[in-house]
């Protein structure tokens, strides 16, 4: 004979607050900050604007980490979107940048982004899907930090 029991606990008011588990509470704040911090070495890096953007764009405690730069989507998925028209500002023969015509909708080109410059500046982990890859490596660290926060050790 098998008996299944399902127990639901609802932490309300003072109890949830005591452990920092209320919406936007201490535990969620620690998780948000940890995700940002642990993701830094995984994030593509040229000037560091993309990697540091969540520190100002994220509402810590919201449960949502935001990379607030126009190119974050392309960098995250690791694919060149176009059309891209090269810009030549010197006589080297190499493009110094690219632009897309106004009103033009960009689409994936099937070409992968090259993260070698990011890796030279930020280390070998820099590349696409940085939050997903970070979570695969550091989820237990984030859970420990959240557990410590709930226990009042952080």
pLDDT in tens, 28-82: 999 999 999 999 999 999 999 999 999 999 999 999 999 999 889 999 999 988 8
For residues 91 and 29, membership in a common domain is answered with no
Predicted confidence (pLDDT) per residue in 7-20, tens digit: 565 656 677 777 77
For residues 56 and 123, membership in a common domain is answered with yes
pLDDT value, residue 21? 74
Instruction: Look up the domain containing 85 and give its range.
Output: 81-112
Provide DSSP, the chain.
------------HHHHHHTT-STT-HHHHHHHHHHHHHHGGGS--SSSHHHHHHHHHS-TTSS-----STTHHHHHHTEEEE--EEE--SSSSS-SEEE--TTPPPEEEEEEPP-HHHHHHH-TT-SSSHHHHHHHHHHHHHHHHHHHHHTT--
pLDDT value, residue 1? 47
pTM, two decimals, is 0.78
Q: Among candidates 61, 98, 65, which has minimal Cα distance to 80?
A: 98
For residues 91 and 70, membership in a common domain is answered with no
Residue reference for tokens 């940890």: 34
Residue 86 placed within a domain:
yes
For residues 33 and 105, membership in a common domain is answered with no
Whether the pLDDT of residue 22 is over 90: the answer is no
d(CA 105, CA 68): 20
pLDDT value, residue 39? 97
């Amino acid at each position: 004979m098998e008996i299944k029991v399902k127990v639901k606990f609802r932490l309300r008011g003072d109890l949830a607050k005591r452990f920092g588990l209320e919406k936007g509470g201490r535990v969620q704040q620690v998780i948000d900050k940890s995700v940002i911090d642990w993701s830094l070495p995984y994030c593509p890096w040229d000037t560091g604007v993309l990697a540091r953007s969540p520190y100002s764009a994220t509402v810590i405690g919201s449960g949502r980490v935001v990379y607030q730069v126009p190119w974050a989507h392309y960098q995250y998925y690791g694919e060149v979107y176009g059309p891209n028209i090269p810009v030549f500002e010197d006589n080297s023969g190499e493009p110094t940048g690219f632009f897309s015509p106004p009103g033009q909708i960009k689409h994936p080109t099937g070409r992968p982004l090259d993260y070698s410059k990011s890796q030279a500046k930020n280390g070998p982990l820099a590349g696409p899907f940085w939050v997903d890859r970070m979570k695969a490596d550091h989820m237990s660290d984030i859970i420990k930090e959240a557990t410590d926060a709930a226990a009042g050790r952080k």
